[in-house]
Chain A
């Protein structure tokens, strides 16, 4: 939950407990104070009665508040306090009384003096105190909560603003987000740390991008030299037949290496999200272009291509990547096909399906999109075609799947 509510609730509960406890203690103190006062008052009244009896030698009493009896019990002059529940004729109903009783000697006679006071007022008094304390504490609580929420909001505002900026940050930004300072020391420290972190990340990303480009340049160069020199040697009349064939084989291998290098670097660049420029791409048009490009090879292997593109699919993506993907898919369908086989391309809604007839049994369909996985019939290819397709799909958020049904292999992409 939000920090604001978390602290609010924590404060709230703590305050309630604190204030309740405080209120309770206050109440108890007041109550005991009030009781002591009452007992003091009873004792004073008892003294007055004693004096009256000693002066007038009798006391009629007002029941139930003052009662005087002559008694034979041995006096001990010790007052005994207790609470009793008696009928009060004035109120007309039984009430609680506080009673102080003493057995004492006055003018030689033993009297039992009982002084009582009604507890109604004191109860009412305590009730009033309790209520007012309760109201005060409760208001205090509410105001505290409101104040703390408002204050927190103000203090946290720069934090949330910076948080929003950070959320929008991507590695493609030239610089890190411009975080606003606040009066809070911790937030400013956080800003500093975040700034240096993002700067470092951006620098690393740019150097990695540069590295990818440099690596390609560096690896291609010796390969280019190899290929060039070999071509020159092939032209020379001094080269005999056998040597020429060897040179040719070397040249072919060098070409393979070069293609492998290019493909691996392409994969790295896609994964580094260096193809973020998107535009509206018409899929069926690209498919048609690619099929045309392969047409000579396709006719040679006597494969028929059936295009069932009912409607144009338009997607938002990088155009060259899309062309690479389609080329690889079609090339794959051609390569793993049989003589007089078929390729069926179906597009519908947001789904594309490319199926081809083929003999191969794929032992492990999940691994098919892995790197360097190839079938026995295409041992000269590096086995990266489908992993390029998968990487492109992954980076665009498209779902790709493979299915084999009675020697017809189908690859399905959902955009």
Chain B
């Protein structure tokens, strides 16, 4: 899987590239529009992560270029959070998904993977972690082959964890992934804990292992024992 990140800020690019490469994805980057165009014309990419919040509107130009010339390439746009019209415009031009800036790396990771699944496997795809199997097309979870009954939120939570294995995920980033931005006004995250508790119970009931470890005071980690 080859990813191209087009972003002008060096530190952000390096962090994102490092993060994604850790996942086993081949990740390249371009720091301006011209470099981006050159790379796109030279190589094939499965997913392009593009920052469209450049004030001069060059991001849209690039997006149109990609959609016109490389229709099989998935595009994930990064847009400024307080510019909903940028997001709308980007999606209308044909971007597959968007992620608000500033970008949470686990979130970026999950979305890139979701986009790859959608694009590469035409939706039918699976995520496997030992005995836990997720079928993203039917949105079902199976433990040891047995179907696990989950709510939508629990499914999203499980998928988020399994997309980011071996990573510490902060409570805030999990909550943001499931409920969006405004949830930050919650003064405690007990409701998140409830969901995780339920998830654990369900996995254990079907004979699976509890890969969810609590990193006290910070968040959770989904890792092999």
Contact = CB atoms under 8 A, between A and B. Distances in A.
A235 B167 contact: yes
A231 B84 CA distance: 26
Contact of B170 (A224, A248, A258, A331): A248
B172 A331 contact: no
A378 B184 CA distance: 12
B9 A221 contact: yes
Interface string B78-110: 001111110000000000000001111110000
A213 B219 CA distance: 33
B106 to A, nearest CB: 7
A227 B101 contact: no
A378 B185 CA distance: 9
Interface stretch (B15-23, B33-41, B205-213): B15-23
Contacts of B138: none
A293 B178 CA distance: 10
Contact of B179 (A263, A293, A378): A293
Interface stretch (B66-74, B115-123, B124-132, B190-198): B190-198
Summarize A's interface: helix, strand, loop or mixed.
Answer: helix
A231 B167 CA distance: 10
Interface residues of B, number: 45
Interface in A326-353: 327-328, 331, 334-335
A235 B12 contact: no
A228 interface: yes
A234 B191 CA distance: 23
Interface in B109-165: 153
Interface string A229-246: 101101100000000110
A232 B15 contact: yes
B15 A297 contact: no
Contacts, number: 108
A245 B106 contact: no
A299 B12 contact: no
A251 B101 contact: no
B183 interface: yes
Nearest to A300: B191
Contacts of A84: none
Interface in B18-34: 18-19
Nearest to A268: B82
A262 interface: yes
A213 B187 contact: no
A381 interface: yes
Nearest to B10: A225
B103 to A, nearest CB: 6
A231 B105 contact: yes
Contact of B102 (A224, A297, A299, A381): A224
B53 A217 contact: yes
B64 to A, nearest CB: 20
A227 B106 contact: no
A366 interface: no
B166 to A, nearest CB: 8
Contacts of B102: 220, 223-224, 227-228, 258
Interface of A: 210, 213-214, 216-217, 220-221, 223-225, 227-229, 231-232, 234-235, 244-245, 248, 251-252, 255-256, 258-259, 262-263, 265-266, 269, 277, 293, 296-297, 299-300, 320, 327-328, 331, 334-335, 377-378, 380-381, 385
30 contacts: A213-B83, A217-B54, A224-B103, A227-B104, A228-B12, A228-B103, A231-B104, A231-B170, A232-B15, A232-B18, A235-B168, A244-B168, A244-B215, A245-B218, A248-B218, A251-B172, A255-B184, A256-B184, A258-B102, A262-B82, A265-B82, A277-B85, A296-B153, A296-B179, A297-B179, A299-B191, A300-B194, A320-B85, A331-B185, A335-B185
